[in-house]
């Protein structure tokens, strides 16, 4: 064998020089470039990769598990920007105080649960509810990842009466609902345990509630009616997702929530794009789909929420 042939065979046997390596290396370089852009403009501090998954660490130290093959663990905008519902997130940084008791209903992957855990600190408490088994496992993982020892996780849903109901899970999304949405042509249903907030507080010895966040696809009014005693007694701040199409499925209008809370001494606000807290009239119709902050009358709030 000549020298040229020997060199050619040796080169071909070195996988680090083989042409097939170039494409994945280029992909890795592109990923590094993308991460550099994301970390420069968003709140992502570090991404640690493992087989088929990653751990996203934000600049404030919070960490979330990302699984490319798991829709429940893709976390909406978090992998791209390091944040989710940024105006509401910054609002809570201003409102929630150490030692408070918070309730997260429809906790999903745990964005608000982890945030609230940090804000209330070791002297506070967070109770998080997520009835979808697979999503609950994602939530549990993120709670463990962040060492949230002040969080209690519950697998039941909260509504206006205890019992069991079907929970509908669309194939096209990650949000389940106690009522079937007409656009969910493909879905599965599971039986779900239902409790009320009032029962839960009595059963578990919750002595007060300072804040409730709820994103439960139209069942928000059921939650309120099942927690009427807690709301009357403790007057917590409420951050509720209000969607007209979801409310209709449960047989009420969005104005019903606003009027129900107005009758119990609450005023409604939304956070504008400029970071202002803007009052919303109780009888406003139609209302856009949005997260609204409901505040007990007489409670002082910051007039402006800094933009993130």
CB 114 within 8 A of CB 62: yes
Q: Determine the Cα angle at 179 with ends 72 and 286, to 5°.
A: 100
Q: Angle of helix 111-120 relative to helix 86-95, nearest 10 degrees?
A: 20
pLDDT score for 74 = 60
Q: Which residue in 91, 135, 83, 132 sits closest to 109, CA to CA? A: 135
Q: What is the pLDDT of residues 224-246, one digit of tens each?
A: 999 999 999 999 999 999 887 78
pLDDT in tens, 140-164: 999 999 999 999 999 999 999 999 9
Coil/strand/helix, residue 41: helix
pLDDT class of 307 with cuts at 50, 70, 90: very low
Compute the average pLDDT of residues 53-60.
87
Instruction: Give pTM, 2 decimals.
Output: 0.84
210/39: higher pLDDT: 210
- Which residue carries 């599965």 as its tokens? 188
Domains of the chain listed by start with CATH number: 3-81 (no CATH), 86-296 (3.40.50.150)
């Amino acid at each position: 064998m000549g020298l040229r042939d020997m060199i050619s065979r040796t080169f071909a046997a070195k996988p680090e020089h083989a042409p097939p390596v170039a494409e994945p290396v280029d992909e890795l370089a592109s990923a590094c470039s993308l991460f550099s852009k994301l970390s420069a403009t968003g709140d992502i501090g570090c991404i640690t990769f493992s087989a088929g998954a990653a751990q996203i660490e934000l600049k404030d130290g919070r960490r979330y598990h990302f699984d490319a093959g798991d829709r429940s663990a893709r976390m909406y905008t978090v992998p791209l920007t390091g944040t989710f519902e940024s105006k509401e997130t910054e609002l809570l940084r201003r409102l929630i105080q150490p030692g408070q008791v918070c309730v997260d209903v429809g906790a999903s992957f745990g964005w608000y649960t982890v945030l609230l855990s940090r804000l209330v600190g070791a002297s506070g408490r967070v109770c998080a509810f997520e009835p979808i088994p697979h999503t609950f496992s994602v939530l549990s993982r993120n709670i463990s990842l962040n060492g949230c020892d002040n969080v209690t996780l519950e697998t039941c849903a909260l509504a206006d009466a205890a019992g069991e109901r079907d929970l509908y899970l669309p194939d096209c999304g990650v949000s389940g609902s106690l009522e079937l949405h007409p656009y969910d042509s493909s879905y599965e249903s599971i039986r779900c345990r239902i409790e009320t907030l009032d029962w839960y507080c009595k059963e578990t010895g919750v002595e007060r509630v300072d804040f409730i966040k709820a994103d439960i696809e139209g069942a928000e009014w059921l939650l309120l009616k099942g927690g009427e005693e807690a709301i009357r007694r403790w007057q917590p701040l409420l951050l509720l997702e209000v969607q007209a199409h979801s409310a209709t499925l449960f047989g009420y209008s969005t104005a019903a929530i606003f009027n129900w809370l107005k009758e119990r001494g609450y005023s409604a606000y939304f956070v504008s794009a400029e970071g202002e807290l803007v009052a919303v009239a109780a009888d406003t119709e139609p209302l856009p789909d949005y997260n609204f902050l409901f505040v007990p009358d007489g409670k002082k709030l910051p007039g402006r929420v800094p933009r993130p």
